[in-house]
């Protein structure tokens, strides 16, 4: 990077325009350190616009979601590698998603400083998750990029690029909560396969922080709904239902990790009415 960004949004744009996931993580750490040291404003006049699609490493083989390799249930080393690789890829996209909401909506929606703070912290935690999982792949005899990946997670970001409320509802509430739903089963698969190290990594580090990420999605959707005229919790819930029904592709399916969702402040009345049998 030849020019050091002068604002947090500048760092967000730098990450979004950097292809390499490890470099995205490094820039993210630097951004948070400078932000928390008081060296950066939220944005400045020289900041540009968020790219339509973040830069991604061309060395990572891409495939359509339906053509992605089957990951199995963790009973073999190859299956565990595939599971960790898939998680590492999701976390690499999570870095971009955390910065995209800052760069795309922070200025245009006149969001408060706390909004920038929350998503910079989320981005740094997603970056650490990616690095931990990439390191675990090396310990398992593989590396990030060894398997084909799909970029389906960005489809919802494209669908919600016009609306902060929609982005929060879909990416940072619905998709984040779905991650909370599947992690316990994933942890159990690693443990059953004798991989206690990966199970512990997911259980003690990644799961608690993903709960906090979903909590921030709920927090800022509620803030935005109240700023837009919602006068009660029922109004906020109704607005959430409308956003999900309009923008979420597919159906919302149980089982739900009710404990983790509750810890994130994601109440059953937000998601149970959206279940399609």
* pLDDT tens, position by position, 177-223: 999 999 999 999 999 999 999 999 999 999 999 999 999 999 999 99
pLDDT, residue 84, reads: 97
CA distance 34 to 233: 37
- Does the pLDDT of residue 242 top 60, yes or no? yes
pLDDT band at 22 (very low <50, low <70, confident <90, very high): very high
Residue 250, C-beta contacts closer than 8 angstroms, at least 6 positions apart: none
- Does the pLDDT of residue 57 top 70, yes or no? yes
pLDDT, residue 69, reads: 64
Q: Token digits for 158?
A: 């494209």
Nearest residue to 195 (alpha-carbon basis) of 82, 69, 68 = 82
CB contact at 8 A, 177 and 264: yes
User: What percentage of the chain has pLDDT greater than the value 70?
Assistant: 95
CB contact at 8 A, 165 and 243: yes
Mean pLDDT of the chain: 93
Give the H/E segment covering residue 34.
Answer: helix 21-36
CA distance 15 to 9: 10
pLDDT, residue 2, reads: 60
pLDDT, residue 3, reads: 77
Mean pLDDT of 226-249: 96
CA distance 46 to 67: 41
User: What percentage of the chain has pLDDT greater than the value 90?
Assistant: 85
**Helix ranges restricted to H, 17-76:** 21-36
- Does the pLDDT of residue 112 top 90, yes or no? yes
Q: Give the up-direction half-sphere exposure of residue 47: CA atoms within 13 A in the CB hemisphere.
A: 26
- Does the pLDDT of residue 152 top 90, yes or no? no
pLDDT, residue 14, reads: 98
pLDDT band at 73 (very low <50, low <70, confident <90, very high): low
């Amino acid at each position: 990077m030849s020019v050091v960004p002068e604002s947090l949004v500048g760092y967000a744009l730098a990450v979004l325009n950097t292809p390499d996931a490890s470099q995205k993580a490094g820039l993210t750490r630097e951004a948070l350190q400078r932000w928390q040291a008081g060296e950066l404003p939220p944005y400045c006049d020289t900041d540009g616009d968020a790219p339509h699609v973040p830069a991604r490493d061309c060395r990572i083989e891409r495939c359509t979601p339906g053509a992605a390799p089957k990951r199995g249930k963790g009973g073999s080393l190859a299956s565990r590698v595939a599971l960790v690789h898939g998680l590492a890829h999701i976390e690499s996209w999570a870095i971009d998603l955390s910065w995209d909401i800052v760069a795309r909506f922070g200025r245009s929606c006149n969001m408060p400083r706390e909004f920038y703070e929350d998503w910079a912290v989320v981005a740094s935690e997603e970056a650490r998750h990616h690095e931990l999982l990439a390191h675990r792949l090396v310990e398992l005899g593989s590396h990030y990029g060894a398997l084909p990946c799909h970029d389906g997670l960005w489809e919802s970001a494209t669908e919600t690029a016009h609306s902060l409320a929609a982005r929060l509802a879909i990416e940072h509430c619905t998709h984040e909560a779905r991650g909370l739903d599947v992690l316990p089963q994933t942890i159990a698969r690693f443990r059953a396969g004798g991989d206690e190290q990966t199970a512990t990594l997911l259980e003690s580090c990644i799961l608690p922080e993903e709960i906090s990420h979903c909590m921030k999605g709920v927090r800022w959707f509620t803030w935005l709904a109240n700023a837009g005229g919602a006068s009660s919790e029922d109004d906020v819930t109704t607005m959430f239902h409308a956003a999900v029904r309009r923008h979420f592709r597919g159906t919302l399916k149980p089982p739900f990790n009710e404990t983790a969702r509750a810890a994130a402040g994601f109440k059953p009345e937000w998601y149970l009415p959206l279940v399609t049998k």
